[in-house]
Amino acid sequence: MRKFERIWIVAIIAGALLAGLPIVVVERATNAYIERNAKSRLESFAHGALGLADARLDQTANLLVDLLKVKVEDCSAVSMETMRRALYGAAPAREIAVIDDDGRMLCSTAGNNTEQRAISREVTQPNRPFALAVMRFRDHDERALRLRIERAGERTLAAIIPVNGLLADILPAERRGRRLRLMLEEGDPAQAEDRSLEYGQTIAATVRSPRFPIMLVAEYSRVAMAEEYEDVLLVARLFPTVVSFFLILFSWLSVRRHRVDPASALHQALDAGEIVPFFQPIVDVKTGRLKAAEVLARWRRPDGTLVMPHSFIPVAEKTGQIYELTRILMRRARDEVGAAFAVRPSLRLGFNLCAGHFANATIIGDVRQIFTGSPISFKQLLFEVTERDPLPDLAEARRVISALQGLGCKVAIDDYGTGHGGMSYLLKLGVDCIKIDKMFVDAISTERYSQTIIETLIDLARNMRMEIVAEGVETFEQVEYLRSKGINTAQGFLFAPPLPASSFLALVEAMEKPRLSVVESEPSPLPAVGAGAA
């Protein structure tokens, strides 16, 4: 044991023995820990719920835009029938209404009984032609959002979306002690008063949408929280005299934990099934449709905390455990989302491979063994070559890539422009796609050289018939620039963070309806960059 570790342990023991902490201090410290842990889980839940609500509002907004394009903007029987048919494909919306230039509802797919409704003030968006308001029904407590397309001096359309429809399938299975409230950005509640929890007796997490003027407030009753952590509180209240003992034990375990070999800890995590896949959506920024998902590794400890990949992926690559980790991710992703991909053959699933994967043909056998006969076809797979470490043998790497492509898989260069490969990878590997690193996307509005690099990559990709995916997109300004340059495929927190399988599947169900009678068909090849760009 090193000298500073011995001094640290001695100091903590002495402090614990001399302090004689009273029960009130112990209890406050325990409550603070419990509240931090509970709030962290509450925030994660709120972000996932908001992402799904945004996706459902986007789906409804696209429906209204499509109806206006075909001139459905009056109360004729033909228009009403067209709107009713359109509703069958817009799960969140209950009805569509025609609105005059004074904001009055002229007619609706639900009939003309509009006098029993009250509309709150509308909240608009600076950069989008939509306005949101809360609709109250005087004969019952249910409320809804009215999403209206803004058109000056003209009739326009609005969709009525029950709040429960936006939040369906989001609330936790165990609802006791929990509440999720939707509000407009101006503070108007979009739900009837809920007194299931007492105000002031909850912890709360508030998240705001980057795409619509709404926010979600997730609350957790302190009473329910105390019941969930009852055992911890009982120990803190009944046994304050042993606090010093636990402090000493904690100190010893902390030193021991720091001395544990990280490779052994990762090996145990792999054996225990603690490495799980998260899925980050990749979208078409022109149509708003889901195109693919990148599978990212997360280490979920037994206590539910997540370890980010930068903490263990380098260890996995250095010790050779990256190969088993990759196999685990492929199997779990196949089992968790395979059914959804089977009925959506246009969706792709991407996996990151390290340089060592391209040193021999082992990865080919792994892919065959895991995906042969699975719900996910080979043509739905995309493998990403990272530039983080140099490929040991470009000729062998080219043979491995050709074998993957021979199966029907696509291959992309990840984090392009920041690693070792550069132009030689483009020229010698024969990949199908390049992914622009977040570093260049972040600099779009601040560094003109970054724009020059991106435009150069576009020209290269167009000439080599490759697709470009922009990573790390976080602002609408970046989206507009990428679209103007013909890059229609992107991923980033603007659209959605990496999601666990359950949240990702809910997003897939909201954004991409299954294609009937195409389960056996294969997805079309990746389009060349700029294809279909405005």
Counted domains in the chain: 3
- The amino acid present at 339, given as its one-letter code, is A
Q: Is 352 helix (H, G, I), strand (E, B) or coil?
A: strand
Q: What is the pLDDT of residue 532?
A: 34
Using 50, 70 and 90 to split pLDDT, how confident is the model at 363?
Answer: very high
- Assess whether 76 and 23 both reside in one domain: no
Whether 359 is covered by a domain: the verdict is yes
- Assess whether 63 and 158 both reside in one domain: yes
- Assess whether 47 and 164 both reside in one domain: yes
Whether 533 is covered by a domain: the verdict is no
* Token pair recorded at residue 503: 């949240």
* Distance, CA of 485 to CA of 457 (rounded, Å): 11
* Token pair recorded at residue 421: 């490969």
Whether 497 is covered by a domain: the verdict is yes
Rounded mean pLDDT, 235-245: 61
- The amino acid present at 518, given as its one-letter code, is V
Q: Could you list the residue range(s) of the whole structural domain that residue 414 is in?
A: 274-434+489-511
Look-up of token digits 């009055």: 104
| Residue 138 pLDDT exceeds 90 | no
Cβ atoms < 10 Å from Cβ of 235:
15
Whether 454 is covered by a domain: the verdict is no
Rounded mean pLDDT, 173-191: 69
Using 50, 70 and 90 to split pLDDT, how confident is the model at 174?
Answer: very low
Kindly report, residue by residue over 39-49, the tens digit of the pLDDT.
888 888 888 88
- Return mean pLDDT, the chain: 79
* Token pair recorded at residue 320: 């050779």
- Assess whether 221 and 136 both reside in one domain: yes
**DSSP class per residue in 424-483:** HHHHHH--SEEEE-HHHHHTTTT-HHHHHHHHHHHHHHHHTT-EEEE----SHHHHHHHH
pTM, rounded to two decimals = 0.51
Q: How large a percentage of the chain has pLDDT more than 90? A: 25
- Assess whether 305 and 237 both reside in one domain: no
| Residue 490 pLDDT exceeds 70 | yes
Whether 527 is covered by a domain: the verdict is no
Whether 480 is covered by a domain: the verdict is no
- Assess whether 7 and 147 both reside in one domain: no
* Distance, CA of 54 to CA of 166 (rounded, Å): 9
- Assess whether 325 and 380 both reside in one domain: yes
- Assess whether 75 and 109 both reside in one domain: yes
Whether 524 is covered by a domain: the verdict is no
- Assess whether 53 and 196 both reside in one domain: yes
Contact 494/456 with Cβ under 8 angstroms? no
Helical (H) or strand (E) element with 63: helix 23-69
- Assess whether 8 and 40 both reside in one domain: no
Whether 406 is covered by a domain: the verdict is yes
- Assess whether 237 and 346 both reside in one domain: no
Residues in the chain, how many? Answer: 534
Look-up of token digits 């483009």: 426
Burial class from Cβ neighbours inside 10 Å (0-12, 13-18, 19+) for residue 343 reads middle
Rounded mean pLDDT, 89-110: 80
More confident residue, 247 or 281: 281
In this structure, what CATH number is given to the domain that contains residue 293? 3.20.20.450
| Range with lowest mean pLDDT among 65-74, 113-122, 485-494 | 113-122
* Token pair recorded at residue 328: 């685990």
- Assess whether 212 and 101 both reside in one domain: yes
